[in-house]
Chain A
Amino acid sequence: MENATNFLNIQDVSTAFKINGRFYDAISHINLQVHRDEIMAIVGESGCGKSTLATTIMGLHDPAETKTSGVIDFEGTDLLQLSDDQYNDYRGAKIGMIFQDPLSALNPLKRVEDQISEVMDYHSDLSRDAKHARVLELLDQVGIVAPKRTARQFPHELSGGMRQRVIIAIAIACKPDLIIAYEPTTALDVTIQAQILDVLRAIQQENHAGIILITHDLGVVAETADRVAVMYAGQIVEEGSAEQIFTTPQHPYTRSLLRSMPQRENENDDLYVIQGNVPSLQRMPQGGDRFAPRIPWVPQSAHEAEPTMHTVAPGHSVRCTCYKVFTFPDQQKGPVTP
């Protein structure tokens, strides 16, 4: 395994969007390392900033509308310092991205083959025949039964699962070192979902790639991820191995999410509901624990003024000190003591 510092090392990255003339942080001070040969999952609900993190790594933001700071060190290069042209040598070649909603992510007017070989047009000097052969090989690799036929088809002629496979084929066409998979299975049936995740895992093992799997689906994470970062309101609130996150979760948000999942154990009970709503960008609490308003029964003194990450076990860290005293309201035995 390569050293973390020379694969992907995200340091203190913030991205702000311009809304009505003012900039608001969508993600703030993200620190994250991703290694080769691992699947790092980023979990969170809509509005937590997970998609902004993905598009920031890909450099897909309009510089006039966004402000990004920090360092994204990828194989020794700070991606945030690259010009758009220099970035294009990374996008598609060394970093591939898989998008959600496979229908709209494919150009409706181009044949599957053209959409896949377009990546190679810019990042390889393969001949036309070689590219054609590679397209068929890729389609076969992502589990499409009749590659020749599919290559000639248009996106609307394919099923959702097949479109998602085409999207994956595009992302892996140039064997990237890093693959960002953004909700790759959300629109799909469970049986197809399982197959797609198998394909992803196989590709990762074959190419020794690092994968960032961004999803809101805890089940998918538990099935595939090696490590997990949980995001809430633009920050990472907990990070650890999949086993740590699912068996000994620490942060109140992680614990709340897991408890709101319908599972065998709570079949007949009501599900746990987190009080309040995810704050919008403009109403993001500044300073203090951003999750504090949603667990009002935890005394203010239990939170840090400026929450930082605390290591609770090797490789397992959690934001803010409130996790130490946090209990669910229905599980409290006596008054909470800070």
Chain B
Amino acid sequence: MSLVEIKNLKVHYPIRSGFWNRITDEVPAVDGISFNIEAGETYGLVGESGSGKSTTGKSVVGLEKVTSGQILYNGHDITRRNNRRKLDYNHDVQMIFQDSLSSLNPRKRIEDIIAEPLRNFEHLSKQDEKLRVLQLLDIVGLDADALYKYPHQFSGGQRQRIGVARAVATNPKLIIADEPVSALDLSVQAQVLNFMKKIQRDFGISYLFISHDLGVVRHMCTNLAIMNRGRLVEIGTCDDIYNHPLHIYTKRLLAAIPRTDVSQRAAHRASRLAVEEIYREQQDKYYDDNGRAYPLVAVSPTHQVALPPDIAQQLAHQESEADV
């Protein structure tokens, strides 16, 4: 059994309009998605802004009202509030946010910020609590004098590590990381990513790693899902997605990643424009009449793509032939 199983999750936002502000329509922010997160793995969720990836993340933490579908955590549906309470779910699942400055209370000291989840869940004595906070600061590589400082006294990378320290304070089983490094400089990003990997090795934490940056996701994840307009268009291992993409949207995303091999610049650009061209011409084939992505079908034990089964098989076949 997987740690987390998301089954046909839907989150719809109401649109109000008219004179009485009645709900007249709904926007499907998340429109029926399913995937599993295994214990100890980093699962990547990739998409552009407005794709619904953050809404998915918030639903998994329980911050979003789920319209329908299930989120099973160790087999229990946590979309129901009393299940979350019974399972101590909020203790086991934590979140890291993109904007570390606005997600840390500016009027609280680091000690109180990191101790907050401990106070909510662990009820330690004052001394034990302080010891634990110091331990956490040590894990994220900050000195003890950080205890009495305020968030604005740290650099972006340090703040992000404080956010991580707070998230791991309760020894969670799962951390939802929503764009955890997209506001950071390269060298600081490297620090935070290394650190996230380290605590995963040490404590066996699973991550749901939400990002728009395909380079970072490849570095961090074993499996990933590509999300587009509230639906998943492709699921697979890193090898499946990066080396054998089948859905046109995935191909388009991959083609748009900037490459650092300057000598291949012209070729890379040409291939990107070619993919764009194909995307414009053929995107109807990849979405149904309402513009929704098709249900996922498996083309290999690990690889699923959102296409009618016959087309999927045909594409997968072509892909494997091209490979040989």
Contact = CB atoms under 8 A, between A and B. Distances in A.
B262 A222 contact: yes
A262 B262 contact: no
B212 A243 contact: no
Contacts of B272: 194
B48 interface: yes
A193 B194 CA distance: 27
Interface residues of B, number: 39
A217 B257 CA distance: 12
Interface in B246-266: 252-253, 256-263, 265
Contacts of B48: 189-192
B22 to A, nearest CB: 24
A262 B256 contact: no
A273 B191 CA distance: 6
Given A246-B260, A272-B190, A278-B155, 14 more contacts: A45-B186, A45-B188, A190-B213, A194-B258, A216-B185, A222-B258, A223-B258, A242-B265, A243-B263, A257-B186, A258-B260, A260-B187, A262-B220, A273-B194
B49 interface: yes
11 contacts: A160-B49, A189-B212, A190-B256, A190-B257, A190-B258, A219-B257, A262-B220, A270-B194, A270-B197, A270-B198, A273-B187
SS class, residues of chain B in contact with chain A: helix
Nearest to B220: A262
Interface string B180-197: 000001111111011001
Contacts of A216: 185-186
Contacts of A263: 215, 219, 260
Given A160-B49, A262-B215, A222 B187 contact: no
A256 B186 CA distance: 10
The winner among A272, A273, A277 for most chain B CB atoms within 10 A is A273
Given A256-B187, A264-B218, A191 B252 contact: yes
Closest 5 CB pairs of A and B: A219-B258, A262-B219, A271-B190, A260-B190, A45-B185
Interface string A226-269: 00000000000000001100110000000011101111101100
B151 interface: no
B259 A223 contact: yes
B214 interface: yes
A32 interface: no
B193 A271 contact: yes
Interface in A30-45: 45
